[in-house]
Amino acid sequence: MKRDFIFSIALVTSTLLLTGCQHVPTNPPDNPHAVTSAKYFGRIERLDPALDALIAPDAKLEKLAENFDWSEGPVWVKDGNYLLFSDVPMNIIYKWEDGKGVSTFFTPSGYTGTIPRGGEPGSNGLTVDSQGRVTSCEHGDRRVGRLEKDGTKTTLADKYQGKRLNSPNDLVYKSNGDLYFTDPPYGLVGNMKDPKKELPFQGVYRVKPDGDVTLLTDKVTRPNGLAFSPDEKILYVASSDPEKAVWMAFNVKDDGTLDEGRVFFDSTSMVKGRKGLPDGMKVDSQGNIFATGPGGLFIFSKDGKHLGTIDTGQATANCAWGNDGSTLYITADMYICRIKTKTHGKMP
């Protein structure tokens, strides 16, 4: 989700025409995303001693790259040992490698139309399937797509009951191959009031491997980030609604559908005066939730206790486990950063 609900930008059409849909390396000496400011930033707000078992007292938030428009959707690619992430307004998926920095991985990432448009046209949430294929939520094209090994795209979901999706935002695979995703209106130029909005609600959906699309709930007003508990019996869903800034917990039934859900944590009172809203999240092997929200990245116990916050000082969008599973990569507005943890999370 973008830091503002509506954001106007003119697409750099010449760049898109030049790069097409190819993997385009960036010349390192001319890389505008190299870190030139302070290497470490932010602070860790410790609310409970239990946080020390997850993040060491001397842990620091390290800046890896900067000068993005709005960084989102990070995912660690184990096969290549690199991080992918979206710059949503710029319609680009970037690649970051330790020692090499940033290069353009794929563009256009979420909008393949020829008419320049504002808003947030690019890809948002990214993940990797069991075959190592990058799967993305594509705002401008209003679909969930998969990048094949030959560089082509396959549409996994773009309609529900014949109506176009709003703008898929984030996604996660279940171990059986089912794909769960959220569909708020943030990729539509007019947001909730966009005349091209076809569905009267915002949904959480499941796509089965055979292509069947099921609406799981339409009761979350602004569904955004989502993640499974380690045993996949709970699906956590963030709602980036400033009037009801909550994380929901849904019990997952045996058939993969959801119950009515419950409020896991309510941050509505924290929204005023802080940057950001409930957004992307990941869960560690013990069931602790690492979730971006007002003021940075919240760390919750599996029982919903707020253990502490990584205060980035930025509107913080999402996070992903990387390396050996103990490094947490974070997209925070114009920055890509990471912090070493004492816990481990599962990577796709």
Q: What value does the mean pLDDT take over residues 319-338?
A: 98
Q: How far is Cα 261 from Cα 52, in angstroms, rounded to an integer?
A: 30
Average pLDDT for 23-42: 74
The confidence score (pLDDT) of residue 3 equals 47
Burial profile 21-55: b = 16 or more Cβ within 10 angstroms, e = fewer:
eeeeebeeeeeebebeeeeebbebbeeeeebeebb
Phi, psi values for residue 18, rounded to 5°: -70, -45
Q: Give 202-218 pLDDT, tens digit per residue.
A: 999 999 999 999 999 99
Domain locations along the chain: 13-27+40-340
CA distance 55 to 48: 12
145 pLDDT above the threshold of 90: yes
Query: Rounded to an integer, what distance in angstroms lies between the CA atom of residue 166 and that of residue 181?
Result: 12
Which residue type does 319 have? Answer: C
Residue 2 confidence class, pLDDT cut points 50, 70, 90: low
Is the pTM for the entire model greater than 0.85? yes
What are 271-301's pLDDT values in tens digits?
999 999 999 999 999 999 999 999 999 999 9
Dist CA 174 CA 166 (whole Å): 23
Question: What mean pLDDT value characterizes the chain?
Answer: 92
Has domain 13-27+40-340 been given CATH number 2.120.10.30? yes
Q: Average pLDDT of 221-238? A: 98
Q: Which residue has the higher pLDDT, 7 or 341?
A: 341
Mean pLDDT over residues 98-116, rounded?
A: 96
Place of tokens 């800034």: 245
